[in-house]
Amino acid sequence: MMLTIDNLTNEIDGKKILKGLSLSINTGEIHAIMGPNGAGKSTLAYTLGGRPGYEVTGGSATFEGQDLFELEPYERAAAGLFLGFQYPVEIPGVSNLQFLRESLNSQRKARGQEPLSGGEFIKLAKEKAGLLGLDMEMLKRPVNVGFSGGEKKRAEMVQMGILDPKLAILDETDSGLDIDALKIVGSGINAIMRKPGKAVLLITHYQRLLDYVKPDYVHVLAAGRIVKSGGPELALELEREGYAEVVAA
């Protein structure tokens, strides 16, 4: 197993959110998590990423044989965990290219690898920007400042391509995307992550992203736990019948 989450419980500000969540992901697999608003989907992503304030109170998460919760957030990233967020931050004064090169080289350093030279980095950035149809000029601009929703998501997928993670956890990557952007982002995810040795956890409200990134497994998260798992057909069933119906069944 690449990632094994066992009976995970957590709290934010003393409020219990995850209530015994278990989930296992093998290399080569794409898993989708769907679920109603407030179920704890983003909380799961933040908790795995190590966001401050998301206190683990029980259970475990093992990533590539390591206890994830023993690692600092930057160590989790260096170990190959990538988190894509629902609301990407803007960083005025720092260009995308500076930011991307800095994140890549700090991860390489944490793994004991040499930094990429300027030339090597630009070559890599061009290749990944090309996959997402993002102009290099966009990457010279400050991180996310003045970017449309679709451009932010594409820039984030360029970041994912450059960092080349083992496991990508993508939280509502489809939110705010029109159909064209959805296609581009979907094919970007496939190009970057549909490879041996990699896996994806896609968190989404809607089935439409799953038309482009076909999941091997679909899980329903409700009230802090995985309450149902199935194949891709489960996403269609959820879309047709609603969460309440499927969860009660």
Interacting residues with ligand ADP (CB under 6 A): 12-13, 15, 17, 35, 37-43
- Span near Mg ion by CB under 5 A; candidates 21-29, 31-39, 107-115, 209-217: 31-39
- Whether the CB-CB separation of 210 and 239 falls below 8 Å is answered with no
At its nearest, how many Å lie between ligand ADP and the CB of residue 206?
13
Question: Based on CB atoms, which residue is closest to ligand ADP, 184 or 234?
Answer: 234
| Interacting residue with Mg ion among 10, 42, 159, 204 (CB under 5 A) | 42
Residue 34 or 104: which CB sits closer to ligand ADP?
34
CB of 39 to ligand ADP, least distance (A): 4
163 vs 220, beta carbon nearer ligand ADP: 220
Shortest Cβ 99–ligand ADP spacing (Å): 25
Phi, psi of 193 (to 5 degrees): -110, -15
% helix, strand, coil for the chain, step of 5 = 40, 30, 30
Asked if residue 218 lies in contact with residue 231, where contact means CB atoms within 8 angstroms, the answer is yes
Instruction: Give long-range contacts, CB 8 A cutoff, 24+ apart: 45-48.
Output: 45/83, 45/85, 45/169, 45/171, 45/201, 45/203, 46/83, 47/8, 47/10, 47/18, 48/5, 48/76, 48/81, 48/83, 48/169
In this complex, which beta carbon is closest to Mg ion, that of residue 44 or of residue 97? 44
**Residue 43 binds: one of Mg ion, ligand ADP, none (C-beta under 5 to 8 A by kind):** ligand ADP
Q: How far apart are CA 237 and CA 243, in angstroms?
A: 9
Q: How far is the CB of 23 from ligand ADP (least distance, A)?
A: 14
